[in-house]
Structure 1
Amino acid sequence: MAPGAPVALVLGGTGYLGRAICAGLRDEGHRVVALARRGGPVPAGCAVVTADLSAATAPELLRLLTRSRPSLVVNATGALWEVTDSAMERANTEVVRRLVGALGAVPGPRPRLVHLGTVYEYGAPADGREAIDEDTPERPTTPYGRTKLAGTRLVTAAVAAGRVDGCVLRLSTVIGRHAPRSSLFGMLAARLREGSGVLRVPQLDGHRDLVDLRDVVDAVVAAARTRDRTPVLNIAGGRPVPLDGAVDALIRISGMPVVRESEPRATPRRDAGDSRPIGVGSALRVLDWVPRRSTHDSLTALWESSNEVPSQL
């Protein structure tokens, strides 16, 4: 990459979303630096800086931003699976508080912030709407939704006050290459790869909005370009998908001969949310973005990568 190319700093850049975002920004001409708590695979041509964001203070983040001088910061950090509620609060809210404080203190031109939120921040709104759009009142029902909403509000308040140039992309359930085993479909793909002949599936209710990882990357790239001041944009597939049907589709794509069995109902999932359609009209208007990949495309990409170790992209 040319030395004069703009620098993009991707927080959580070695994670599931972060790696793909790093590759997309690299392909757009950025010099990409992935910031992560521990080293990990990143796309070819991207650098890695290790830092524990949950422990870093705002002054430490400011020094990091001043040294790297990014024109773009993407916050792809967050915690959902296999963590305590207090760890979730640190990752989803406190890290954002410190990041927003540091960005507001950067001397000279301030980098643009693209913060990744979640549609689970809406929770189960009781306003009678047929679809969820950005004006829907938020009523999160889980610690994940509440802590992510707190992070979103920190960003939007700083943008409204003129301290930060940025926006929040509220993502629905993201499916694509190298989905983590802790996620529902990543777990099911891994179980299918085991080839035991039996696929144990958690009890699934209703529908969810599923969006392709590649569509998410396209949205991040578009949000990095725009200077529109719309604070929050939904990034989603735009239609609810029956979860049982998506599981059956993954089984067909795998070609594995399995007997499907239901697991006993466990505790409620931490990503439990509403099954209504997620409106993406604002993203079309502001970013000229629409979801382009189907659920079948997403599940195929997931399956094809499910026996790979994430490495060079």
Structure 2
Amino acid sequence: MIEQGDDMVIKQRSQDEDGDRRLRVMVLGGTGFLGQPVCRRLADHGHDVVAVARHARHLGSGVAVRALDLAEAQVDDVAALLAEVDPDVVVNAAGGMWGLTEEQMVAVNVTLVERLVAAAGRLPRRIRLVQLGSVHEYGLVPIGASMPETMTPAPVMPYGEFKVRCAEVIAEAHRQGALEGVTLRIGNVIGAGQPRHSLLGVVAGKLREAQLAGGRARLELAPLGSQRDFVGLGEVVAAIVLAVTRPGVGGHVINIGRGVAASARDMVQLLIDASEVPTDLVEAERTGPAETTWQRLDIALAAELLGWSPSDDLYAEMKQLWEHSVARVPA
């Protein structure tokens, strides 16, 4: 086991080879909603980036792409890829929940992380692993309360449970010295490329259909009163890049959100405003308890460890979400 501190391995290699903090970063799920902009931002900052995804496709200059089905890959497959790429840092932007069965969620979240950690343990040196977790790991808190990293997770949905298991696996690997692990618990992300099965992805699709038809949109949606911590995609990407490069983050769970609880209704209305599509919004009456009543992240640790703070304005991100939807479904 390497005896140097959490960040010395990364610093020493980068300085010896390149004279500065240029890193080799492997991004799992590198063509996805979060992974693709992370790859681009890292490449723009001068790092060597390798994206890993089920299907290889061009992501622009400075980003190499390796094809590997991470849901099916065995430990030997992941270890071989790590040995080939020889990364300083791995960002796990793979996983997900939208449109997946519970079995599929286990495979692309928990099993993937377990195999990744096992494969990383075979490397001759210690790498940093940045895990993209979720606000849903915490569950619910009373209205008006915030969720600090010291809060004991109590997820109310399977996806949150699976993400907690991922964080625990990484934390244990960090304690054992197998890797330098950090988990970012991220709020509900808004931005270009929103997953089609998400609430805002569905709404954007219906607004685009109405725009192309030249009529009014009619949105008949479930109750939208739940308040959650929504955060812009660009802000999240900036935080991930900082988690890749900043010293002193190993062994931490760090919340990434706006520190503000806003209703899903407000977000839908913001998207309607950004689209400028005339819309009738019809919201069903609630007949049972909300899946998530209130979520607000405490983001003080992100400011302390990453020097990161979010923007208060989500309109620009929502506008980009809409413009991407228009481009995705051309006239």
TM-score between the two structures when normalised by the length of structure 2: 0.85
Partner of 1:260, secondary structure, is: strand
Partner of 1:180, secondary structure, is: coil
Question: C-alpha distance in 1, partners of 2:153/2:274?
Answer: 36
Q: Tell me what 2:234 maps to.
A: 214
Q: Tell me what 2:129 maps to.
A: 113
Question: C-alpha distance in 2, partners of 1:180/1:268?
Answer: 25
CA positional deviation for 1:266:
10
Q: Tell me what 2:268 maps to.
A: 247
Q: Tell me what 2:10 maps to.
A: none
Label 1:261 to 1:274 Cα distance change in 2 as closer, same or farther (>3 A): closer
Label 1:267 to 1:83 Cα distance change in 2 as closer, same or farther (>3 A): farther
CA positional deviation for 1:267:
10
Q: Which runs of 4+ in 1 moved over 4 A?
A: 263-269
Once the two structures are superposed, residues 175-195 of structure 1 have per-residue CA deviations (whole angstroms, 9 ceiling, x without a partner) of: 011112111112211211111
Q: Tell me what 1:154 maps to.
A: 169
Question: C-alpha distance in 1, partners of 2:54/2:86?
Answer: 20
CA positional deviation for 1:206:
2.3
Q: Give the aligned residue type for 2:154.
A: R
Q: Tell me what 1:283 maps to.
A: 302
* 2:277 corresponds to 1:260: no
Q: Tell me what 1:92 maps to.
A: 109
Partner of 2:69, secondary structure, is: coil
Q: Give the aligned residue type for 2:278.
A: P
CA positional deviation for 1:40:
4.0
* 2:80 corresponds to 1:59: no
Which runs of no fewer than 5 residues in structure 2 stay unpaired?
1-16
Q: Percent identity?
A: 35
Question: C-alpha distance in 2, partners of 1:239/1:265?
Answer: 23
TM-score between the two structures when normalised by the length of structure 1: 0.90
Q: Tell me what 1:193 maps to.
A: 208
CA positional deviation for 1:154:
0.5
Q: Tell me what 2:182 maps to.
A: 167
Partner of 1:308, secondary structure, is: helix
Partner of 2:26, secondary structure, is: strand
* 2:53 corresponds to 1:36: yes
* 2:93 corresponds to 1:76: yes
CA positional deviation for 1:309:
3.9
Q: Give the aligned residue type for 2:280.
A: V
Aligned length: 304
CA positional deviation for 1:145:
0.7
CA positional deviation for 1:43:
3.8
Task: Select between 129-138 and 145-154 the one with higher mean Cα deviation.
Answer: 129-138
Q: Give the aligned residue type for 1:12.
A: G
Partner of 1:307, secondary structure, is: helix
Q: Tell me what 2:259 maps to.
A: 238
Question: C-alpha distance in 2, partners of 1:46/1:236?
Answer: 27
CA RMSD of aligned residues (A): 2.3
Question: C-alpha distance in 1, partners of 2:60/2:258?
Answer: 26
CA positional deviation for 1:169:
0.4
Q: Tell me what 2:195 maps to.
A: 180
Question: C-alpha distance in 2, partners of 1:129/1:230?
Answer: 29
Partner of 2:327, secondary structure, is: coil
Once the two structures are superposed, residues 251-309 of structure 1 have per-residue CA deviations (whole angstroms, 9 ceiling, x without a partner) of: 1221111222236879999xx43513210000000000111252222212211221224
User: Contact between 2:117 and 2:173, CA under 8 Å: does it hold in 1?
Assistant: yes
Question: C-alpha distance in 2, partners of 1:243/1:95?
Answer: 31
User: Contact between 1:120 and 1:145, CA under 8 Å: does it hold in 2?
Assistant: yes
Partner of 1:78, secondary structure, is: coil
Question: C-alpha distance in 2, partners of 1:245/1:12?
Answer: 30
Question: C-alpha distance in 2, partners of 1:78/1:188?
Answer: 23
